[in-house]
Amino acid sequence: MPLDPLPYDKHLTDTLDALADRGWAVDHTLFDADLIAALRASCEARWQAGAFHAAAVGRAVNEARREDIRSDAVLWLDESDSDPAVAAYFQRMDAVRQAVNQTLYLGLAELETHFATYPEGAFYKKHLDRFRDDDARTLTAVLYLNPDWPADAGGQMRLYLDEACTQHLDIPPEAGTLVLFLSDRFWHEVRPTHQPRMAVTGWFRRRIGPMPW
């Protein structure tokens, strides 16, 4: 898949401005329909092959399955994935990482990513993406893979816009929509979905450790 490292400069600028101003942004242009369709096919094939596992909450010793909190299934992805669509995803997200670092100085170093499938009825209750014992996750990036998502199908991401959660935005998981937000600031949830729902969920992590001086 041919790939220009920063193919949508104008739109990326808008996204970067939104992130700088308010800490979240919704983009519809960074991932074109062909790449989304290829990612969707890849996600679906691996789902059919039984490669997913039930998602957990927390990490390391705090990791636990909590089906009362989240009922999706995930498959972690690697940059060395043999599927060109997954490789293109990582390349494009790396362009986003570099652009964000140049304008917001977040020091994003790497991306951890999984495919997520929400079967009918699945949800993810309100949460923050930063773990109690690991504050490296800095910027969340959720990319949706569902073409023609019906308005009454549920499955929206509810993004709370203030810390007290008095205001929110419901974002349908429509193919090509990329939601970016600061991982430690924005509470969010996945509303129960009435049909299967697929996404590529990523977290840019910053370097953790002693300062080099």
Chain residues binding ligand OGA by CB under 6 A are 116, 124, 129, 142, 157, 188, 190, 199, 201
CA distances from 152 to 58, 60, 188 (A): 31, 37, 20
Of the candidates 82, 43, 83, 66, the one whose C-alpha atom is nearest the C-alpha of residue 173 is 43
Select from Mn ion, ligand OGA, none the partner in contact with residue 27, using the beta carbon and a kind-dependent cut-off of 5 to 8 Å: none
The CB-nearest residue to Mn ion is: 129
88's enclosing H/E stretch is: helix 84-104
Contacts of 101 (CB under 8 A, 6+ apart): 107, 108
Q: How far is the CB of 124 from ligand OGA (least distance, A)?
A: 5
Q: How far is the CB of 70 from Mn ion (least distance, A)?
A: 9
Of the candidates 58, 22, 42, the one whose C-alpha atom is nearest the C-alpha of residue 180 is 22
Stretch in the footprint of Mn ion (CB under 5 A) among 27-35, 46-54, 128-136, 143-151: 128-136
Nearer to ligand OGA, 9 or 59 (CB): 59
Select from Mn ion, ligand OGA, none the partner in contact with residue 201, using the beta carbon and a kind-dependent cut-off of 5 to 8 Å: ligand OGA
Select from ligand OGA, Mn ion, none the partner in contact with residue 204, using the beta carbon and a kind-dependent cut-off of 5 to 8 Å: none
Contacts of 88 (CB under 8 A, 6+ apart): 1, 3, 35, 38
Select from ligand OGA, Mn ion, none the partner in contact with residue 178, using the beta carbon and a kind-dependent cut-off of 5 to 8 Å: none
Stretch in the footprint of Mn ion (CB under 5 A) among 1-9, 27-35, 49-57, 125-133: 125-133
How many angstroms separate the CA atoms of 171 and 156, rounded? 5
In the list 27, 72, 129, 189, the residue contacting Mn ion (rule: CB under 5 A) is: 129
| Cβ–Cβ < 8 Å for 139, 181 | yes
The footprint of Mn ion (CB under 5 A) covers 129
